[in-house]
Amino acid sequence: MKHEKVLEKVYEPGRLYAAWKRVRSNAGAAGIDGMTVEMFESREEELLSLLHEKLEKGNYRFEPARRVLIPKEGNPSKMRKLGIPVIMDRVVSQSINTALGEIFDAEFSGSNFGYRIGRSQQFPAAL
């Protein structure tokens, strides 16, 4: 299996925009830079262009995640750590996920369900 130019797939403007739409639909809190989804949206064209440029030049670097404590499910008296990445990191991660999924998903067997988009090992409740 030979795959070239994977990075070019990641920073392709259309793919970055699709990744941004997915991040926007998930909403979420701001990372350490304080930028919210709404703030990114107001500068969408500028920031997606900047992301494309940095990825193309090879000088994009992920930021540290903002650490928050949230109550554990089933035991609200205990807390667990949660890392919240900045919006730009989420867009890049989503673009990487999509590009790699396109390359490798076809190689998986039909019975492989782990971490695949639209697939789950859980049976539908209607069965």
Residue 99 has pLDDT above 70, yes or no: yes
Angstrom distance (rounded) from CA 121 to CA 88: 31
Residue 116 has pLDDT above 90, yes or no: no
Residues of the chain with pLDDT > 90, as a percent, come to 64
Residue 20 has pLDDT above 80, yes or no: yes
Tens-digit pLDDT profile for residues 53-97: 999 999 999 999 999 999 998 898 999 999 999 999 999 999 998
pTM exceeds cut of 0.85 = no
Q: How far apart are the first and last CA of the chain?
A: 38
